A and B are shown apart, each in its own frame.
Chain A
Amino acid sequence: MTGRQRRLLRLAMPWLTLAVLLIGWELACLAFVVPEIILPRPSRIMEVIVQRWDILLRFCLETLWTTLAGFVMAIAFGLLLGLAVGASPFVYSGLYPLLIAFNAIPKVAIVPILMIWLGIGALPAVVTAFVISFFPIVVNVATGLATIEPEMRDLMRSLGASQWETLTKVGIPRAMPYLFASLKVSVTLAFVGSVLSETVGGNRGIGFLMLSASARNDSATTFAGLFAIALMGIGVYAACALVEQRMTRWAVRGQPSR
C-alpha cells in the first residue's frame, strides 16, 4: 500500500466500521424476525429521522443548549477549583476526599432533589450536566499544577517570583493541556447529565422525547433520539479536540513533517 492509500483507508475506517455494524444489525433483525418494538432495524430508524427531522432537531437543540450551559459552568468552576486544589496542599487535603465522595454518588439520585429545588424545565438539566461534568476538569487541572517540575519552581523562586507570578507564568500554562484533554471527556459527560435529567422527569429535550416515545411503544423514535444524542456527542467532542489541538500545540511537540 502506498502512503496515500494508507491515509485514505485510515480516514475511511470509522465509516466502514459503522457501515458494517449497521448492516449486521439490519441483517440480524431480518434473520431473527425481531419485532420492531424490541429492536427496530436501522433502516426504520433512518426513516423516522427523515420523517420527523423537524421535531428531532427542535428537541436536540434544547438538549444541546442545556448541555453546553452546564458545560460552560463546569469549565469555569472546574478550572477555579482545580487551580485551588492543585496550588494549595491545604485545599487539596480539605476538599479532595469530599470531591471523590461527591463524584461517587450516582447522579440519578440527585435529579429528583434538583427538581424539588428548581422545578421542572431547563434548570435541573443544566445543573445535572454541570455536576456530572466538572469533576474530570478539577482532577486534570489539579494534576497539571501539582506535577510542575521542581526545577521550574526553583527557577521562579531564584528570580524572586511571587506565588501569583509562579501560578500565572508556569502553573496555568502548564495546566492548559490537561484542561483541554479533560474537556473532551467532560463534554460527553455533560450530555449524559442533561439527558439523564430530561428522562427522569422533564418536559423538554431529546430525553423527554425518547421517554414519551417509548411510553407510546414507538421504539423507532426512541432509537432515533439515541442516534441524535450520539451524533451531538461526536460533534462537541470533535469541537473540543480541535480547540485542544489549536491551544496546546507545544504539548504535542514537533513531529517531523510528512
Chain B
Amino acid sequence: MASEPLVELRNVSLAYGEGRERMVALGDATLSIEKGEFVAVVGPSGCGKSTLMKLVTGLLPPSTGTVLVHGREVTAPIPGVGMAFQNSTLMPWRTTRDNIMLPFEVVAPHKHRLRRHRAEYEAKAEALLASVGLAGFGDKYPWQLSGGMQQRCNVCRALIHEPEILMLDEPFGALDAFTREELWGVMQKLWLERRFTAVLVTHDLREAVYLADTVYVMSRRPGRIVKRRTIDLPRPRTLDTTFEPGFVEIVHELRERIQMEHA
C-alpha cells in the first residue's frame, strides 16, 4: 500500500452562494481513496454527500482545500468517471437502451468505434440491462418505467463504459428491500470482476457495510468526516453474511455514531 492514493481530498470545503446567501455545505473533508477501493459515505440528509461526489469528479471546484486524482489537482471534470446522480437524469426522448448507450457516444475511444461496432455495443447494453433485471425493456422510454427501474437504468448508464471511478449517489433508494439486496449482489459481482474504484452514498447502513471496504460517516451540515471504519469481512459477502454477528456489530457501531449526530 505504498503507492499514492487514487483520490485524495485535503481539507476540502465548499460553500454555495455568495454574500448573505452563502452557505457552507461541506466543511473540511480529508480522505483518501485507494485504487480499486469501494468506499461508502453515510450521513444525515443535507450534510453534503452529493456535494462531496461532485467535488471528487471535478464538477464543482472546492472553496478551500485541494482535490487530487492521480496525484494531480482537479480543476475541471476529470475523465474516466461514471456517475449515477441522485435525481434521475435519464433523457425522456431516448429509449432505455439509447440512454444507457449515451457514454459510448461521448466517451473516447468508444465514440469513434460506435458507428462501426454498433451491434457489439448494443449487445453489451442488453447484457447489462439483463443483469439488473431489465431484460426486454430496452425499447421502452424512461417514463414508461417505474421509479425503481429508472434507478437501475441510471446505474447501468454510469458503469457501462467501465469507468475507472464509479460514483453512485443513493442508487438503490427507490427500490424494495428484495430487489435492493439482489442488486447488492450484482454490484459486488461486477466490482469483484472489474475492480473499479467506487464511491457509494447511501442511507442504508447494511448496504454500506455489505458493499464497502471503508465506510465514512459524516456529521450534520456543514458536513465533516467524523468516523472512518474499515470493513474487513471476507468477500464475496452474501445475504447470510448480513446476519452474522460481525456484520451486525459493525452496523450497530455505525448507527450509534450517526445517532450522536441527531442528538
Which chain A residues have a beta carbon within 8 Å of chain B's beta carbons? 149, 151-152, 154-161, 165, 169-170, 173-174, 176, 248, 250-251, 253-254
Contacts and interface: CB of A to CB of B under 8 A. Distances in A.
29 contacts: A151-B85, A151-B87, A152-B89, A154-B59, A154-B83, A155-B83, A155-B85, A155-B89, A157-B77, A158-B57, A158-B77, A158-B82, A158-B83, A159-B103, A159-B107, A160-B108, A161-B106, A165-B106, A169-B105, A169-B106, A170-B91, A173-B91, A173-B94, A176-B93, A248-B93, A250-B92, A251-B93, A253-B92, A254-B144
B106 A156 contact: yes
Given A250-B143, A254-B144, A159 B92 contact: no
A160 B91 contact: no
Nearest to A174: B93
Specify the main secondary structure of chain A where it touches its partner: helix
Contact of A158 (B81, B143, B144): B81
A209 to B, nearest CB: 44
A250 B141 contact: yes
A50 B83 CA distance: 67
A160 B79 contact: yes
Interface of B: 54, 57, 59, 77, 79, 81-83, 85, 87, 89, 91-94, 102-103, 105-108, 141, 143-144
Contact of A251 (B59, B87, B92, B94): B92
A2 B54 CA distance: 55
A239 B106 CA distance: 36
Contacts of A250: 92-93, 141, 143
Given A173-B91, A253-B92, A254-B144, A159 B85 contact: no
A254 B144 CA distance: 7
B253 to A, nearest CB: 33
Contacts of B59: 154, 157-158
Identify the interface centre among A151, A169, A170, A250: most chain B CB within 10 Å of its CB.
A250
Contacts of A156: 106
Contacts of B81: 158
Contacts of B82: 158
Contacts of A176: 93
A248 B81 CA distance: 31
A244 B173 CA distance: 36
A151 B85 CA distance: 8
Contacts of A170: 91
B93 A173 contact: yes
Contact of A159 (B87, B91, B94, B102): B102
A149 B107 contact: no
Given A154-B85, A158-B57, A159-B103, 8 more contacts: A149-B89, A152-B91, A154-B59, A159-B102, A160-B77, A169-B102, A170-B91, A250-B92
A203 to B, nearest CB: 46
A92 B54 CA distance: 28
Contact of A154 (B54, B141, B143): B54
A154 B82 CA distance: 11
A154 B151 CA distance: 17
A158 B93 CA distance: 20
B143 A254 contact: yes
Contacts of A158: 57, 59, 77, 81-83
B198 to A, nearest CB: 15
Contact of A253 (B83, B103, B143): B143
Contacts of B93: 173-174, 176, 248, 250-251
Contacts of A165: 105-106
Identify the interface centre among B85, B87, B91, B106: most chain A CB within 10 Å of its CB.
B106
10 closest Cβ contacts across the A-B interface? A250-B93, A158-B83, A159-B106, A161-B106, A157-B77, A173-B93, A155-B89, A250-B92, A151-B89, A160-B79
Contacts of B85: 151, 154-155
A30 B81 CA distance: 78
Contacts of A155: 83, 85, 89
A161 B87 CA distance: 20
Nearest to B85: A151
